[in-house]
C-alpha cells in the first residue's frame, strides 16, 4: 500500500526520472477556486536533490520566467535544453511525498513522444523571426497565460505584454462557476460574518438606547422643543421602560 516520506527516496528518484509522462495539479488558496490538472510529456522534468524537483512549463512554489537572469542561470547550471515555447521553469520545494499501490492502474507501452506541440512552437518562432510580429510568443502568452482559470495573475511577462500590446485574455471558463459570474455572486451574497456584525450592531444600539436613550431624548427636547408636542418621546419611554417625567 501507500508509503509517505518527507523527501524523495533514491529508489523513487530513479523511477520518477524514467517516466515518460507526469501530471501537474494546481489550485488557488481560496476555496472558491478550481483545481487544474495538466498532463505533461517529454524530457522536461528533473530532480536536483531529494527535496526539490523542477519541470519546464511549455507555452508554484517558485517560477523562473523565460527572459530573466534567474532563468538563464538555472538553465545553464542544470544543462536544460529549452525548446521554442518554453515560458518558465517551475521549481517545487518538497514537503511530503506519497506513493500509492497502483493495483488498478492499467499496463501500457511507451512508443514515442508526440512532436506536435514542439513542432508548432518551432514553426511559430520561425514565422516571428521572418517578420510576422503577430506570431510572437509574448502575444500568445498575453492572450492565454496572463490569467489563471480563476482570473488570478499569471506570468509577469505575459501581463506586461498584454498591457503594452493591448491583448485581452481569452475566456477559459463559462457558466455560473466562471470567474466573472463568481465575482458577481460574491458581490451580491452576504456571509455569516456580515449577518453577525449587523446583528451585533443592532444589539449594541439597543443596549445604548436602554441605558442612555432617555438622557439623549431629554437633550433633544431641550434642543428641539417641538418634540414636546409629539408622541415620539412618550412612546419611546413606554416601549423602552424609561421613567415617566
**137-164 pLDDT, tens per residue?**
888 888 887 787 777 777 777 888 888 8
- Model confidence at 124, in pLDDT bands (50, 70, 90)? confident
Measure the CA–CA gap between 160 and 147, rounded to whole angstroms: 12
- Model confidence at 61, in pLDDT bands (50, 70, 90)? very low
The correct CATH number of 4-118 out of 2.40.50, 2.40.128, 2.30.110, 1.10.287 is 2.30.110
Angle at 35 between CA 111 and CA 162, to 5 degrees: 90
Beta-carbon contacts of 165 under 8 Å, excluding residues fewer than 6 positions away, are 138, 139, 142
**Inter-CA distances, 129 with 95, 113, 124, 215, Å:** 43, 27, 9, 82
Q: For cell 520518477, what's the residue?
A: 16
- Given the DSSP bridges, would you call strands 4-5 and 97-98 parallel, antiparallel or unpaired? antiparallel
**Set of cell numbers at residue 33:** 477556486
Q: Which has more confidence, 103 or 215?
A: 103
Q: Which has more confidence, 187 or 4?
A: 4
Q: Is pTM beyond 0.85 here?
A: no
* For the chain, domain boundaries: 4-118, 136-189, 192-240
- Model confidence at 244, in pLDDT bands (50, 70, 90)? very low
Amino acid at each position: 500500500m501507500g508509503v509517505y516520506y518527507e523527501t524523495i527516496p533514491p529508489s523513487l528518484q530513479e523511477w520518477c526520472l524514467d517516466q515518460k509522462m507526469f501530471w501537474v495539479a494546481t489550485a488557488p488558496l481560496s476555496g472558491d477556486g478550481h483545481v487544474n490538472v495538466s498532463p505533461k510529456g517529454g524530457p522536461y522534468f528533473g530532480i536536483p536533490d531529494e527535496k526539490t524537483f523542477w519541470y519546464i512549463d511549455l507555452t508554484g512554489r517558485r517560477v523562473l520566467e523565460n527572459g530573466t537572469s534567474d532563468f538563464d542561470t538555472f538553465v545553464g547550471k542544470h544543462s536544460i535544453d529549452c525548446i521554442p515555447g518554453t515560458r518558465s521553469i517551475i521549481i517545487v520545494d518538497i514537503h511530503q511525498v506519497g506513493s500509492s499501490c497502483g493495483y488498478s492502474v492499467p499496463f501500457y507501452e511507451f512508443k514515442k513522444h508526440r512532436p506536435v506541440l514542439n513542432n508548432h512552437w518551432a514553426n511559430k518562432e520561425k514565422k516571428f523571426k521572418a517578420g510576422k510580429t503577430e506570431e510572437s510568443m509574448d502575444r500568445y502568452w498575453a492572450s492565454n497565460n496572463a490569467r489563471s482559470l480563476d482570473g488570478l495573475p499569471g506570468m509577469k511577462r505575459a501581463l506586461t505584454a498584454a498591457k503594452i500590446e493591448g491583448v485581452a485574455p481569452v475566456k477559459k471558463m463559462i457558466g455560473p462557476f466562471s470567474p466573472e459570474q463568481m465575482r458577481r455572486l460574491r458581490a451580491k451574497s452576504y456571509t455569516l460574518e456580515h449577518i453577525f456584525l449587523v446583528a451585533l450592531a443592532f444589539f449594541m444600539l439597543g443596549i445604548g438606547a436602554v441605558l442612555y436613550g432617555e438622557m439623549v431624548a431629554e437633550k433633544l427636547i431641550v434642543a428641539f422643543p417641538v418634540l414636546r408636542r409629539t408622541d415620539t418621546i412618550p412612546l419611546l419611554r413606554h416601549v423602552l421602560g424609561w421613567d415617566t417625567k
